[in-house]
Amino acid sequence: MLASARSALARAAASAARLWRRSLQARVVLSTVALTALVVALLGVALLRQISDGLVGERVEVALAEAGQSSAEVQKSLSAASTDFDVEAQLSDLAARVVERGRSQGYDVVLIGPLATSPGSTGDGTGPTGGGQRFSPGLDPTSVPPALRRKVESPTGGGDGWTYTELRSGGGATGSDEPTRVPAVVVGSRLVLPADGGTYALYHLFPMGQEEQTLALVRRALLTSGLLLMLLVAGVAFLVARQVVTPVRLARRVAERIASGRLEERMQVRGEDDIARLAGSFNQMAASLQKQIRALEDMSAGQRRFVSDVSHELRTPLTTVRMAADVLHDGRHRFDPVTARSAELLHTELDRFENLLTGLLEISRFDAGAATMHLDRVDLVDVARRVVGSMSLLAEDAGVRLVLLPPDLPCVVEADALRVERVVRNLVGNAIDYARPAIVPDIEVRVAGNDTACALTVRDHGVGLAPGDETRVFNRFWRADPARARTTGGTGLGLAIAREDARLHGGWLEAWGRPGEGAQFRLTLPRRAGEDPVSSPLPLQPEPAPSRAVTR
């Protein structure tokens, strides 16, 4: 049960956090309500304190005036008392009159005395008092605080005084039969009976129940009005935020549609306020972007057509020149050394030119969306073996050796065998071109698979890639080493074509590299055509010390 409650609380907190992050309107409303609650709380506390101080201060003033008048009358009555009569009877009669007056005026009375003044007395108002206590019916005499009694009843206490207390009674001035506890003001006075020289303490206890009820009513009113004010502010903030956020949301939807290719989408312009001007500016920007994108698309289409047309048109004269070059190359042994070398260079450059034209034609097919595949069940291990076996002599000429690290099980995918083999040849050839045999002579080719994908990596220890070159390496005609001459290496289209082949299969072709530490390229293909691989079976960043296998 506790775990379910915690889980529900965690989900609610996550939902609230997601709403706070994603909704501008929610942030505006909640922030406004929070600030309003803080201001209302501060104002309410200040107002309640002022009202409380005013009510209590006024009650204290009334209590002091009433107690002073009552004490003066009692002192006058004591001064007029005669020694010919019973003092106790006179005190009882006087106390009864004071209590009755307090009942009519709404306060309670406690009369203590005569106070003991002998050396054996405590003199603190808590010891023997001789005459005892007389108080209003139903009143608890302990309602008089001991500190005030010490002040009033002690010979050295200073006499009169007042303080706040809690009135505990079961009737008295309140007229109730049930025990009550209400705040009160108690005023104490010291009186003297001239007839016998006795000293008495008279306490007037003024309840503040009405003031407490008034403060409770004010607190309820402030709380209710504060809640209503926050609801009103929340509603106003919601409406205001909605007026601002709604156009922003519409602009976001229009921007998403434009980003998806629907360049004709526009915002509706209503009115002449800032939002309307923003919508107009947004539409102008969208129109300008549409115009520029159309121009770029037309330019790109024209460039693609030009490249495709030129490539096709060059095929015919290239075939003728190839035939003449082959004749010259075959008969070069009959030429002088300079002419023979020229025939060899012509044959080599014609090979490069033909490869360049082939690459351009393939790129133009990808750009035009005309590339097709012939799917079949292809084992990446067999493809890797064929490539490693056919390019071993080329690797030996470059001073490096190819190392194949096959998996324990076949890695079969649905793919175009020719395109996959072309990708692997491009990766291995690129590794041979940029290898540094004097440092690490091995180029490792690794194959692995999982439930959804198969992967092949080619690791070299050549010049490596600088930060940021991991994506630029797949650009057309881009090279990691600008100092390398165009007369060496490939055409600069191999990796670009390889990436397009990987995308055509629904896979990835990625690169990792560090300057001086070499590079690693990873090809990831889905096992079944049309599916997206969840993850790659091989890491993109190579291990520090890869294992070795048999050289092919």
The whole-number pLDDT of residue 130 equals 44
CATH 3.30.565.10 domain range(s) in the chain: 376-526
Q: Has this prediction a pTM greater than 0.75?
A: no
Q: Which fold has domain 85-211?
A: Beta-Lactamase (3.30.450)
Distance from CA of residue 373 to its chain's centroid? 46
The whole-number pLDDT of residue 467 equals 85
d(CA 8, CA 26): 21
The whole-number pLDDT of residue 124 equals 43
The whole-number pLDDT of residue 175 equals 47
CATH 3.30.450 domain range(s) in the chain: 85-211
The whole-number pLDDT of residue 487 equals 44
Q: Which fold has domain 376-526?
A: Heat Shock Protein 90 (3.30.565)
Token digits of residue 156: 């050295």
Mean pLDDT per 10-residue segment, the chain (552 residues): 78 80 80 88 90 89 88 80 64 80 85 64 42 79 88 77 84 54 89 77 89 89 90 88 80 82 80 78 84 79 69 73 81 83 82 72 68 85 90 87 84 89 89 78 89 91 84 75 49 80 88 88 89 86 57 40
d(CA 530, CA 533): 10
Q: Which fold has domain 266-371?
A: Helix Hairpins (1.10.287)
Residue 85 per-residue DSSP state: S
CATH 1.10.287.130 domain range(s) in the chain: 266-371
The whole-number pLDDT of residue 424 equals 92
Instruction: State the Cα angle at 188 between 186 and 194, rounded to 5°.
Output: 155
- Size (the chain), residues: 552
Q: Give the bridge partners for 501, in sequence order.
A: none
